[in-house]
Structures are given as C-alpha cells and as structure tokens.
Amino acid sequence: MNSSEAQNILLHALQDYLSAVSAQKLPDRPDLIPHCQQLELLAVQLAPQLDPRLNHFLESKSYRKAHDYLVALPSSKLAKATPPRQPCSS
C-alpha cells in the first residue's frame, strides 16, 4: 500500500470518528469505542507509510489535528476529501 492509499483509509476513519463525536449530543448517540479502536489499529498498521507529523498526531490522539492535516494536503497527494457531517443545531 502506498502513502496516498494509507492517507485515504485514515482520512475516512477520522471522518467517521469526528461524525460520531459530533453526534454525541443526540439521544441515540453512537459508541465512540469502536472508532477509537479502529484509529489506534490504523495508526500502528499505517505508521510506516505516514508522515512523521501525522504519526505524532495519531500517537497523541489528536484526531482533529490529524484530520485537518490530511484535508490540507494538496489534492495530488490525497483524493478529494469530504468534511465530516455535522448535525444541525435546533
């Protein structure tokens, strides 16, 4: 797996996690534990293909910073990223 593929996999997992975090105020809030476990596993598996700065964010569990770092990459390095879905406040 190349670096771009690893970044795409990680980006999607981070987007899922951040969507789950933003849904914590909802009555049927999602469980964050599976998302955290997946991110921890990906951090270990993908570490050799990732930039050291991104590895640092993952090791310190700074998932928002990791997401923002990946989204800020030039489009040539990463497929078009979609921002995490945020529920509307009522």
Tens-place pLDDT, residues 40-85:
999 999 999 999 999 999 999 999 999 999 999 886 455 554 555 5
Q: Domain boundaries in the chain?
A: 3-72
Say yes or no to pLDDT of 86 above 90. Answer: no
Residue with tokens 């990223």: 81
Tens-place pLDDT, residues 2-27:
888 999 999 999 999 999 999 999 99
Name the pTM for this structure: 0.80
CA diameter of the chain:
43
> Is the separation of the CB atoms in 42 and 9 below 8 Å?
yes
pLDDT computed for residue 67 by the predictor: 96
